[in-house]
Amino acid sequence: MAGMPSRPLIDVKEIEALLEQRIKSLVGELLPNARKEGKEMCVGSIHGEPGQSLRIHIGGAKRGWWRDFGAGEQDKGDALKLVSAVLFGGDIKRAVAWSKGWLGLDDSDPAKIERVKLQAKAHVEEKARDAAAEEERARQGARRRWHQGKALVRGDLVATYLGRRGIDLSLLGRAPGAVRYHEALQYGFGDDAVVLPAMVSMITNLAGEHIATHRTWLKRDGTDKAGVDELGLDHRGKPRDAKKVMGRYLGGHIPIWKGAQSCPLRDIAPGTDVYVSEGVEDGLTAAIADPSLRIIAMIALSNFVDLQLPPQMGRLILLNQNDPIGSKADKAKKRGIAHHRAQGRRVFLVEPPKGAKDLNVLTDMRGAA
């Protein structure tokens, strides 16, 4: 209709896609001090000084995505947001105008616009294919890592580690089938790689498919999780995390203990309560306290809101941890509780002993000794 504003010939999503296609050249333009490390370009910050805190993906399904690990949670995003952060103090409108000029886009040439749109569409489709292929490779790799592990037996390093956490698997009569011992699992890549023993745990979805593998690297004598002496520091100068997940685990769980029923989680009897821990150690602590319980681990509180659960279950009972009020963990927990209650589930919490971080209190006692 006359007088109504026309739709831009090239929209923002298409500009983002075109920037992603030329991400290596874009980084060279914006941040000439950036240096290539694998599939990433690294620099100190959006101000461009040499360093490693700001990391930009230049390959694979994450191409164009970046994050400044030395800054706040909001300092991350796509290629267009990188332009806005580096050049315009976060002003997206100015970043769009600059990007159109850098890409050589001219709204007055309909034929060129059509070619550009097709080019952007092809990039989005290619990225989706890359993402699907990467997810499948990660899933297959996760399964291989778990199958390389061995069933837990008395005296192995996982049993040693759990025993130091006050978890005596002999009290259960058998070892949890989803948890295994890997004698020599690589952590990291290249010059930073180290090989250590590890506890590897299967992560499944509600359909029972093995979708990811949780890994906890251990000290060489199994007395504790691997620490800075074994793993070193990350690019932020912080101790590397001894716990990692291989594969996409959203919505999945580690089947810690089946309890009185030997069936998969999806087939539990109507009204069966499901106990949910954050990690393997909390879950096994609860299993030893009452081996009749059905217990799963959600891996991380960020997964709580997406956790897949059977509709016929009884209560959802969270094995709570003492997270500081208002913390990121506390907020994720509250979002998950609200979500599951909105789904009609009855949600209850089992609180850890007073003054303890979690149900596995021996960890706190040993650390304070």
DSSP secondary structure letter of residue 293: S
Query: Six-digit token pair at 90?
Result: 């976060």
Q: What is the pLDDT at residue 252? A: 97
Euclidean distance between CA atoms 42 and 58, whole angstroms: 10
Per the CB < 8 A criterion, the answer to whether 31 and 86 are in contact is yes
Q: What is the pLDDT at residue 135? A: 84
Which residues of the chain register pLDDT less than 70?
1-8, 72-74, 107-108, 361-369
CA nearest to 100, candidates 114, 115, 80: 80
- We report the CATH number of the domain holding residue 93 as 3.90.580.10
- Does 90 lie in the same domain as 154? no
- Does 167 lie in the same domain as 245? yes
- Does 299 lie in the same domain as 181? yes
Q: What is the pLDDT at residue 152? A: 96
**What tens digit of pLDDT does each residue of 217-235 get?**
999 999 999 999 999 988 7
**What tens digit of pLDDT does each residue of 59-91 get?**
888 899 999 988 766 689 999 999 999 999 999
51 CB-near residues (< 8 Å, 6+ apart): 42, 43, 44, 45, 70
Q: What is the pLDDT at residue 367? A: 34
> Number of structural domains, the chain?
2
In a domain, 175, yes or no: yes
Euclidean distance between CA atoms 76 and 91, whole angstroms: 14
In a domain, 138, yes or no: no
- Does 308 lie in the same domain as 243? yes
In a domain, 173, yes or no: yes
Q: What is the pLDDT at residue 77? A: 93
In a domain, 128, yes or no: no
- Does 286 lie in the same domain as 154? yes
Domain assignment of residue 61, given as a range: 12-115
- Whole-model pTM? 0.75
- Does 306 lie in the same domain as 170? yes
- Does 103 lie in the same domain as 155? no
- Does 180 lie in the same domain as 87? no
Q: What is the pLDDT at residue 365? A: 36
Three-state DSSP class for 14? helix
Q: What is the pLDDT at residue 129? A: 85
Q: What is the pLDDT at residue 191? A: 80
- Does 270 lie in the same domain as 169? yes
